[in-house]
Amino acid sequence: MAALQIVNVEKRYKSLQALGGVSLSIEPGEFFGLLGPNGAGKTTLISIIAGLNRADSGTVSIHGHDVVTDYREARKRLGVVPQELVFDPFFTVRETLRMQSGYFGLKKNDDWIDEVMANLDLTNKADTNTRALSGGMKRRVLVAQALVHRPPVIVLDEPTAGVDVELRQTLWKFISRLNHEGHTIVLTTHYLEEAQALCNRIAMLKAGKVVALDSTSALLKRISGSQLIVHLARGGLPDALKPLVSHPDELIGGSKYTLRVNDYSEVEPILAALREAGAVIDDMHLQQADLEDVFIQIMEGEK
């Protein structure tokens, strides 16, 4: 049984087709990435999964429980960390987490609350009123609220947007531990290096449709070879090298160019062409293609 089953989900807002028949099956224990540009439909899909919005058609189930017809059981199995900082300003961190436990009928949950707070570095803020917390600390409380009932499926919607490095490291250490213990993680993020490092499988959305779905390793293999990053102090890129440019926008008045190379033997001819054109290199380095390159290639290829 899938941890999260999404079948042909459609959602329209007047003239806007937010989701156009999205289907995904996420297995228990997966660390799954849901990527896409702004407006791709990611947050709409998460809202439907969480029961905060209704699909026009299609179904969503969590461990076999439909989010509409069996919403109580579905909601028990789901924890969602939203993008927005939503909190009650009149309670302390511990009181907030105790109330969240009460929503799920958990009366004696202090041991787990203490463990969650410790893993998110919230222990010393346990008796602090939430309105007195910094933005980063409020973000940690949102994560703690999503985890307080130990849901088998955890959805993280841009959890590290605008937060410091310390919180990112703390969060990913704890979430990775939960994943290793069997929790299913669904992550949306614009930090593609996070998705590449953490996710086993990735779906990419554009204009409400799935345009790529594969393992992270398979997606990375879509771009073969390496990339030669060249910064020019003087001169421009000769016409013969322009077909190698990975990001066409770099050709518009830029001095930095990302060139595709399949083998180290191709580097010297590139350097020779630059010298012949009178270009002066300020800096250069060779790097392997990453998920950002794959993302750009797929998004530009899907019109």
Asked if the model's pLDDT at residue 303 lies above 70, the reply is no
Q: Sorting pLDDT into bands at 50, 70 and 90, what band is 163?
A: confident
What CA–CA distance (Å, rounded) separates 239 from 249? Answer: 15
Which structural domains are found in the chain, ordered by start? 4-219 (3.40.50.300), 226-301 (3.30.70)
Cβ-Cβ contacts under 8 Å for 77 (sequence gap 6 or more): 62, 63, 65, 151, 152, 153
pLDDT at 194: 92
CA atoms within 13 A on the CB side of 289: 24
Residue pLDDT, tens place only, 184-224: 999 999 899 999 999 999 999 999 999 999 999 889 877 76
Asked if the model's pLDDT at residue 233 lies above 70, the reply is yes
pLDDT at 283: 92
Share of the chain above pLDDT 70, in %: 98
The answer to whether the pTM exceeds 0.85 is no
Q: For residue 243, what are the CA distances in angstroms to 151, 246, 260?
A: 49, 8, 9
Share of the chain above pLDDT 90, in %: 58
pLDDT at 224: 63
Q: Sorting pLDDT into bands at 50, 70 and 90, what band is 302?
A: low
Residue type, 64: G
